Structure 1
Amino acid sequence: MTTGRVEAPTRREADLYATSSRTILLALAPILVALTLAGALLLALGVDPLTYYGYVLQRGLLSPLGFEGTITRMAPLLLLAASLIVAFQAGIWNLGGDGQFLLGALTAAAAGPPLAAHLPVSAALLLCLIVGAGVGAVWALLPALLRAYQGVNEIITTLMMSFLGVSFANVLVKLVFRDTTTTVPQTRTLPVADRLPRLFDTTVTSGVLIGLVAIVVVQLVITRTAFGLRLRVVGANARAAVHAGLPVPRLVVAAFVISAGLAGLAGAVEILGVEGNVRADWNPAFSLTVVPLVFLARFNGFAAIFFVFLFSVLSIGGESAAHRMGVPSFFNLVIVALVLVLLALAEYLGGRRLSGPVA
């Protein structure tokens, strides 16, 4: 009996270790291979890949200003990652994040200056964050209701609403919220003193704390609460969820609203922390860029923080390295695309290896 008590936990620990090792390998291997392939592309362009990656690390991680820029870049990406985790865990493809992001940003930019002029800065910022999240959530109601009650494919509807949201935001900037004191079509600029406070006398916006809190809360809600369990059941098998008596349509709408609200909040954080205004035709297109990071993290919030950090280093450092070495500015997206393709290939080969003995 004593032997049995000792062996059972040991076997479970060994299985857990093997599973964790495989998950880490499948997550990191595509990144390493993608960097190697990207290095081969750099060689074909006549650029030394070691020098290029050295600049990326120097500008995005090792220099004080570069590191601060990396952490600041993480703020909206973390909120968008949290948004996508909620949607994907519920089995929903919310691909309208760019429209929700931009409308949330525009709302915060339009409301910020007048609110800051009549309210304490903290109250004005809080209201802007709430309104930005609310506008993002409202913009997703139509795709949510169509998916929940009519079964309409949300991939199509969210992409269409994203396109409409981006175009509508540009129209509002040019015709409704334009700052008439400038020649460039943009909203009024929120003064630096009225923006989100900086951390520890650096250029890092406190928006990164909002992003970290949001993604940790999402992870805990998804994994530790009854509501999160219901969302995961719906995402795993909607028909089984119906037979289990779960209110699937309401859960789908709730997941959509939470996901879109976080995307709108990401836009508000970017404006209130960094940009200060919205210019015409401005669209950083962060949402679709975050999708592969969330897949690399296996929809895990804590792992998503790590991958968002890596991407931020690559993004900030890559911008400087590309300018210095004559590499196209979109080369970072090539690396992300390679990572995504290799991730899919690794998942396919890993699945075949595990199912082979059973078959």
Structure 2
Amino acid sequence: MMDEAQAIHPPHDKAAARPTLEAWRSLALVTVGPILLAFLFCALALLIAGHDPLAYYLYVVERGVFSGQGLQQTLTRMAPLLLHAASLIIAFRAGIWNLGGDGQFLLGAVMAAALGPVLVTVAPDWITLIACMLLAMLVGALWSLVPALLRAYQGVNEIITTLMMTFLGTSFANVLVKLIFLDPATTVPQTRTLPVEDRLAWLPGTTISSGLFIGLAAVIIVHLVMTRTAFGLRLRIVGANPKAALHAGLSVSALTVIVFALSGGLAGLAGAVDIVGVFGNVRADWNPAYALAVVPLVFLARFNGWATIAFVFFYAVLDIGGESAARRIGVPQYFTLVLVATMFILLALAEWLDQQRRARQRS
């Protein structure tokens, strides 16, 4: 009996669990090295453009981390980014490319902005906030239904359909703001505004929206579900090998639709959290494009929830600091995306080179 137990649960070898020299070397070459190289390449780009890269990086870090107000803005900015990350982790681990997050986000935001100011006049704040978030999740899930059904039952590539639904969702959100949910009391085309006192509470003594905790909870729950539950295992099997999943008796079509609904619902929730937690309304032509910005972060984290939180914080620091640097130093605000994209390319190249090296060692 003891031998069988040891075979099933082998004794924990502390020495084997310690990081080896090879593991540290791989971490340096595949992760840390490409990130530092990306900073170097972008520093050269700043020099060529006539800007001081050291001043830019120092100002970004100082504003995004060490400034009290800047750090609060960074943590607040993380809330919708984390919800988008949770949305993408579910989809990517299941082998599905949901690139329609921005459309789902905007439609969820518009519906939350339309419902909130009306419902708060007849219902308590907590009911209003929950209703806005649930409605946004429902709208995001429904907006993902067309790509889901086309992928599940017709085999249509979801990259194309979700991108098309994003363009359509962005335009439809603007139509809703300008024609149906327009606030007649303002000259700027926007929805009615949810009063500040009726929005998600701030952390005591700060301006950090409690939506941050919703985002953190979403990423952690998604990570645990995908790595520790039978449902998550089914989704990973579908993503790794749909034919094997069918052979194992899994309903690939139904699971595909469920994944799209969960992913779209979380993207819609991100829109609601941004509105009922920060902005209070939606203006016409507003589109922060969080979803596509988060895609490389999720890949950099290798779909790991804990690592994703760290990368989202890193990006939020760059985003908030970059906004300030754009005003103070004159560096374009979208330079943050250039930096993240450069990291993604170099990390992908380093990963490929590392795989080639390992293949040569095995042969």
User: Normalization by structure 1: what TM-score?
Assistant: 0.95
Pick closer, same or farther for the CA change 1:237–1:37 going to 2, 3 Å: same
299, 306, 314: which one aligns with 1:295: 299
Pick closer, same or farther for the CA change 1:336–1:306 going to 2, 3 Å: same
Extract structure 1 runs of 4+ deviating beyond 4 A.
Answer: 14-21
Equivalent position SS for 2:283: coil
Pick closer, same or farther for the CA change 1:110–1:7 going to 2, 3 Å: closer
The equivalent residue for 1:282 is: 286
Aligned counterparts of 2:84 and 2:288: Cα–Cα separation in 1: 12
Aligned counterparts of 2:28 and 2:285: Cα–Cα separation in 1: 39
Report which stretch shifted further, 91-100 or 348-357: 348-357
Q: Please tell me the residue identity of whatever aligns with 2:43.
A: G
Equivalent position SS for 1:118: coil
The equivalent residue for 1:209 is: 213
RMSD over aligned Cα atoms: 1.7
Check if 1:188 corresponds to 2:174.
no
Deviation of 1:198 (Å): 0.2
Aligned counterparts of 2:359 and 2:225: Cα–Cα separation in 1: 32
The equivalent residue for 2:262 is: 258
Deviation of 1:193 (Å): 0.5
The equivalent residue for 2:69 is: 65
Quick check: 1:27–1:297 contact (8 Å CA) kept in 2? Answer: no
Quick check: 2:151–2:157 contact (8 Å CA) kept in 1? Answer: yes
27, 30, 53: which one aligns with 1:26: 30
Q: Deviations over 1:23-58 (max 9, x none)?
A: 575233322111111111111122111111111011
Aligned counterparts of 2:50 and 2:11: Cα–Cα separation in 1: 57
The equivalent residue for 2:336 is: 332
Check if 1:41 corresponds to 2:42.
no
Structure 2: which 5+ runs fail to align? 1-9
Q: Deviations over 1:35-84 (max 9, x none)?
A: 11111111112211111111101111001000000000000000000000
The equivalent residue for 1:145 is: 149
Report which stretch shifted further, 248-257 or 92-101: 248-257
The equivalent residue for 2:170 is: 166
Structure 1: which 5+ runs fail to align? 1-5
Aligned counterparts of 1:329 and 1:47: Cα–Cα separation in 2: 14
Pick closer, same or farther for the CA change 1:24–1:274 going to 2, 3 Å: farther
Q: Please tell me the residue identity of whatever aligns with 2:32.
A: L
Deviation of 1:201 (Å): 2.0
Aligned counterparts of 2:208 and 2:33: Cα–Cα separation in 1: 31
Aligned counterparts of 2:47 and 2:157: Cα–Cα separation in 1: 43
Pick closer, same or farther for the CA change 1:25–1:218 going to 2, 3 Å: farther
Q: Please tell me the residue identity of whatever aligns with 1:196.
A: L
Identity %: 61
Aligned counterparts of 2:16 and 2:317: Cα–Cα separation in 1: 37
Q: Please tell me the residue identity of whatever aligns with 1:294.
A: V
Aligned counterparts of 1:146 and 1:138: Cα–Cα separation in 2: 14
Count of matched residue pairs: 354
Pick closer, same or farther for the CA change 1:20–1:133 going to 2, 3 Å: farther
User: Normalization by structure 2: what TM-score?
Assistant: 0.94
Deviation of 1:16 (Å): 7.2
The equivalent residue for 2:7 is: none
Q: Please tell me the residue identity of whatever aligns with 2:39.
A: L
Aligned counterparts of 2:72 and 2:89: Cα–Cα separation in 1: 26
Aligned counterparts of 1:21 and 1:113: Cα–Cα separation in 2: 55
